[in-house]
A and B are shown apart, each in its own frame.
Chain A
Amino acid sequence: MSILIGNKTNVLVQGITGNEGVRATKHMLEYGTKVLAGVTPGKGGQAIEGIPVYNSVKEAIANHPKINTSIVYVPPFAAKDAVMEAIANGIGLVNVITENVPIRDAAEMLACARKEKARVIGPSSIGILSPEKSRLGVIGGEKEIVEAIYKEGPVGVMSKSGGMTNETSWVVRQAGVGQSTVIGIGGDVIIGTNYTDLLGLFERDRQTKAVVMFGELGGTYEDQVADIIKSGDFSKPLIAFIAGKFAEYMPEGMHFGHAGAFIEGSRGSPTEKKKKLREAGAIVVEQHHEIAEKLKEIL
């Protein structure tokens, strides 16, 4: 098994005719992902990499009733609309790759998803990959690299950063093991699925024996992980790396890296997050490459 995506994932690409949509479609097909259709309003009737393009999600689903997952590559101003269209048409999993989505729009579309019981991953997600089964987005990139890094295995990976999703999965592979599912959750202030949501899924997934988390300064998503370890709702080993300690030495209010990465008072500081995670029983490493050594110890 894996979480979120697997052999039964049938994908719709919203914004398929844009540069990024075309590139992602190519990468997904190359990996063996079942991409059934794409949507770009006004461009219905075209084909991208042999995949038919429709004017609306409704039209795409009418022609391809097996679609159960959507990946969103539309521009920021159109992201909320695209997500709400997917949800209204009954798609249960929506992976939003679009970056720079206004927080107000994100809050509205996520409230809509909650109401309709749909799951949104992102915005600003790099994608999702269940090795040897399915890939959403360009996670892992070119064939040669994706094959070098990803292999079916026992480790779940979750990360706010796209680049570090890949790098962290590579460290896992260097420890001699593969991954169950790898998820880029996005580094925005408000996101659809956070670490805690995923740990709930990893807990029930029999393939996953341990989880590695790449966290960052800012917000409270990392702090919430400490809570569900303490409550016992997540009981498998968790290795955590939290980036951004240097920002504690910088003037308050300065933004580095992702949109959600800033410190207000003591809130959001990596020191505080690491302390809470350690107290809860997570394995916290100070250097990113130490993840490999810790994994070898526990698996």
Chain B
Amino acid sequence: MLHEYEGKALLKKHGIAVPDGKVVRSPSGISDDPDRGKVMVKAQIYASDRAAKGGIIICKDPEDVKRNLSRLLGSKIGNETVHEILVEEKAEIKKELYLSITYDTDSRLPAIIFSSEGGSGIENRFSEGKQKIVKRNIDPLSGLQPWQAREIAIDSGTDPASINKIADVMLKAYRCFLQEDCRLIEINPLAETPTGFMAIDARIDLDETAGFRHPEVNYQRVAVDRQPTEREISVKKANDADYRGTVKYVELDGDIGFLAAGGGGSITCMDALLLHGAKPANYAEYSGNPSAQKVYELVKAAASKPGLKGLWIVGAVANFTRVDETMKGVIDALKEIKPNYPIVVRRSGPFEKEGLELLKKAAKEHGWRMEIYGKEMPLTRSAEIMVQRIKNIARRGD
């Protein structure tokens, strides 16, 4: 997801009008301009109900702006910290409309959603059926045609005098959607002003898989609302250093180290931990047959987080990820970390015998408290075993 000001820059590039504005990162980042009218101070956070949470403020003079900048910068709104603020002219709004474009999984086509009444709270009014919206799929082979855009405007009950102007915004937005490889463009509100239609807000999500077509765009966005930890940074580096396979690592609040294989397997296993009342200390995933080195970096991060009570190394029966290669990475990392907490392993797939044998040998040699299972142990049942081992230790107090 892009911040509002980044989204607006893209819209502007494709010819859609946006208010004049500036991004501010410190309270002194804005000049005193007594001639300015009212300005908007808008916290750049991802929450969609930003206005209701106090993230958007109308200021009447430069003093007011400064006061609000100092107050908002560094403050928390919901679970997000405000690092950037967009200060922009307050547009003179005659009417608020709504426009979005996204991929619709029902039709498996791009879809335009338009309403002649926009503004905050629109999601609720949509779902309660209190508001008329027009949704149309677009044939990706022929693209959005001007007549279709006009039809959408007409069907929404727009003032006939605005039909051509609105269709023009839709066509520009669709061009932006395609050319920038967006997953979502949402303009809410799209406002009618004395100078024409203008995007007052913008939520744009980019398709990261199309990154090769946009080498200038930095896709490395922080998925969590905090600075990444050293361990998270080290895994990200390891991931980028080698194209083969993928490793992902995000730290969470719990105390069970989590190391899972595969995208579907890892979310299945996270659920299993939660079902047994356990709290994962992290989300760590390796997929697509990564090298031992890559797995080593991931395990070094996941297994060294302070306060771990156990480590669950788990994976489905792999199709092509080699168990021997990936377990070599696990062993090398654990040798350095020297864990004294219990470890439960469940893994199967190509070269399983070799991989699990290597692990058994290493566990014996280094005195790890490790139990190792292959596919005879059901994947999600091994969660129960992990949780049980930790409980046993807590009871015995060692």
Decide whether A and B are members of one complex. Answer: yes
**Interface, chain A (partner B; CB < 8 A):** 23, 76-77, 99-105, 107-108, 110-112, 115, 126, 138-142, 145, 148-149, 159-167, 170-171, 174, 187, 189-191, 194, 214, 216-217, 219-221, 224, 241, 243-247, 249, 251-261, 265, 270, 286-289, 292
Most B CB atoms within 10 A — which of A194, A243, A258?
A243
**Interface, chain B (partner A; CB < 8 A):** 1, 46-47, 79, 103, 105-106, 108-110, 123, 139-141, 178, 181, 183, 207, 209-210, 212-213, 223-225, 250, 261-268, 270-275, 280, 283, 285, 287-288, 315-321, 348-352, 375, 378-381
- Taking a contact as CB atoms under 8 Å apart, the answer to whether A254 and B224 are in contact is yes
Residues of B within 8 A of A105 (CB): 210
| Known A104-B140, A167-B265; contact A288-B379, beta-carbon cutoff 8 A | yes
Whole-angstrom CA separation of A176 from B180 in the bound complex = 51
Selected from B141, B280, B285, B288, the residue in CB contact (under 8 A) with A111 is: B141
Chain A nearest CB, measured from B43 CB (Å): 16
- Taking a contact as CB atoms under 8 Å apart, the answer to whether A163 and B264 are in contact is yes
Chain A nearest CB, measured from B287 CB (Å): 8
Selected from A77, A115, A159, the residue in CB contact (under 8 A) with B264 is: A159
- Taking a contact as CB atoms under 8 Å apart, the answer to whether A162 and B319 are in contact is yes
Whole-angstrom CA separation of A166 from B273 in the bound complex = 21
Whole-angstrom CA separation of A163 from B47 in the bound complex = 33
Chain B nearest CB, measured from A115 CB (Å): 7
Chain B nearest CB, measured from A176 CB (Å): 14
- Taking a contact as CB atoms under 8 Å apart, the answer to whether A289 and B267 are in contact is no
Given contacts A166-B318, A244-B271, 7 further A-B contacts (CB under 8 A): A76-B212, A102-B181, A103-B209, A111-B141, A190-B103, A246-B271, A256-B267
Residues of B within 8 A of A255 (CB): 223
Residues of A within 8 A of B224 (CB): 251, 254
Residues of B within 8 A of A126 (CB): 319
Closest A residue to B348 using CB positions:
A145
Chain A nearest CB, measured from B148 CB (Å): 15
Closest B residue to A192 using CB positions:
B108
Whole-angstrom CA separation of A214 from B320 in the bound complex = 19
- Taking a contact as CB atoms under 8 Å apart, the answer to whether A251 and B79 are in contact is yes
Chosen A-B contacts, 11 in total, with CB atoms closer than 8 Å, are A101-B209, A104-B210, A149-B317, A163-B264, A166-B319, A187-B264, A214-B264, A216-B267, A219-B105, A245-B271, A246-B280
